[in-house]
Amino acid sequence: MVNDQNTPTASPFNAIRAIDYTVIFVRDMAAMRRFYEGVLGFPLIRELSAGWIEYQIGGNTLALARPSRTAKDAPVPAGSASLQLAFKVAAEDVDRCAEELVRHGVDLLEPPTNQPFGHRTLFFRDPDGNLLEVYAEI
């Protein structure tokens, strides 16, 4: 943004300090809820309706929502991820998370792997096909 004297001015968006919550628009709420609560063990913090539930993850809220008045977009086609979430853990927990996912019958897209950029990563999908990552800095 530039003012009349061609000097840069601060954007009001520079006031943003964090992502407060993330919303995943779901196709199958029951399956997604079983996955995020039962497999990942995320604590449910509130259920505003059958179409909106929230989990607390650190200082952030992850919401699962059915598209409604706030989103008139067409559903994401099956087999297409609409987002990727990366969950940060301690290095020793990446492998423990992989073991827990396998115990619950979740297919791993990529098992725990040390990446050349200094992360140990694990990739898998939720029931709606969204790409999820558990990683640690190594």
CATH of domain 19-69: 3.10.180.10
pTM exceeds 0.85 for this model: no
What is the C-alpha radius of gyration for the chain, rounded to an integer number of angstroms? 18
Task: Give the sign of the dihedral formed by CA 40, CA 42, CA 25, CA 86.
Answer: negative
Q: Which residues of the chain have pLDDT under 70?
A: 1-8, 69-76, 79, 81
CATH of domain 84-137: 3.10.180.10
By CB atoms closer than 10 A (0-12, 13-18, 19+), residue 93 is middle
In the prediction, which pLDDT does 72 show? 66
In the prediction, which pLDDT does 7 show? 57
For residues 7 and 112, give the distance between their C-alpha atoms in angstroms, rounded to a whole number.
Answer: 49
Domain extent listing, the chain: 19-69, 84-137
